[in-house]
Amino acid sequence: MLIDEAKIIVKAGKGGNGASSFKRNAQTAKGGPDGGNGGNGGNVYFCGINDITALSEFTYKKKISAEDGIKGGKQNLYGRNGKDTVVFLPIGTFVTDLDTNKTFEILNTQDKILIVKGGKGGRGNNEFKSATQQTPYYAEKGLPGEEKKLLLVLKLIADIGLIGLPNSGKSSLLSVLTRAHPKIGDYPFTTLEPNLGVLSSIVIADIPGLIEGASDGKGLGIKFLKHIEKTKVLVHCIDIQSQDLPKDYEIVRKELIQYDNKLNEKTEIILLTKSDLLSKKEVNQKLKVAKKLNYNSFTMSIYNDKELSSLTELLINIK
């Protein structure tokens, strides 16, 4: 199961306490202060990774922490800094601070983004000696590390999104275009999570079937609509056997626009799927209806090599 959302707490390490001690040995009965400083707490960083399943780590793991700094010691020994923690998130993950509502996106695998900073280590009493105070007993406590509550939302990065009502042939199309292996069946909601495939370096996402009210959370709802926000082209699959093509088309279009009106600006192709199930005359009649909705309308059967080849060429060259 693809995990595409998670709420987590990230906490940086606490700074180590400074030490309060005085030099004592066989040669020195009453030496000066020699308490060392504590180490700084570890930081937490986020990095991108090309793995859309990476958020599954947070199915049960809800808190991410870095190591605390080590306390200072006598003989002016400084405590070690706490080890940093690096968390790998899928490229395309949006990270939102739930307290400030500030959001940023994981864009690549090169950047190492500081999320929370470790607390500064406390100073040992050796740091406080002076001409007027040669025997300070005081040492600082280490400061706490930063802590944030974050919402992680993955929005798949795909060039082309396959959309449509349940059982409109999207998964079958993805399987023949890209050799991906989505679950395929003859009942609604066969696809319960987005599937990805690659066609000549073009990433295609099969988005689970939408229903009326999806933008309000009905059916599989808004959970998967976010995955088409970043696509360049939408391929709107409609079962050619539909008794009302315009209605089926408008149901999906309405949900897209209600979710985000910017989706209305994307290049769209209408694909009448399962064309092998109707006569040539019926197919042509259905195609005329579809072209009134969008001139970029085509028929498709996954068993028709000519149609499959034409669609492949179209998708590879479309802007």
Burial of 82 (0-12, 13-18, 19+ CB in 10 A): buried
The pLDDT assigned to 130 comes to: 87
What lies within 8 Å, CB to CB, of 231 at 6+ separation is: 158, 159, 160, 161, 205, 266
Helix, strand, coil abundance in the chain, percent, nearest 5: 25, 25, 50
Burial of 192 (0-12, 13-18, 19+ CB in 10 A): middle
Which domains occur in the chain, in start order?
1-154 (2.70.210.12), 160-317 (3.40.50.300)
Residue 148 φ/ψ, nearest 5 degrees: -140, 145
The pLDDT assigned to 201 comes to: 80
What lies within 8 Å, CB to CB, of 157 at 6+ separation is: 91, 92, 203, 230
Q: pTM for the full model?
A: 0.74
Which amino acid is residue 224, in one-letter code?
F
Which amino acid is residue 119, in one-letter code?
G
The pLDDT assigned to 211 comes to: 55
> For the chain, which residues score pLDDT lower than 50?
182-192, 214-215, 219, 221
For 293, the enclosing helix (H) or strand (E) is helix 280-293
Strands (E), 211-282: 233-239, 267-273
Residue 305 φ/ψ, nearest 5 degrees: -60, -35
Any bridge partners for residue 195, and if so which?
Answer: 206
The pLDDT assigned to 94 comes to: 95
CA distance 289 to 117: 60
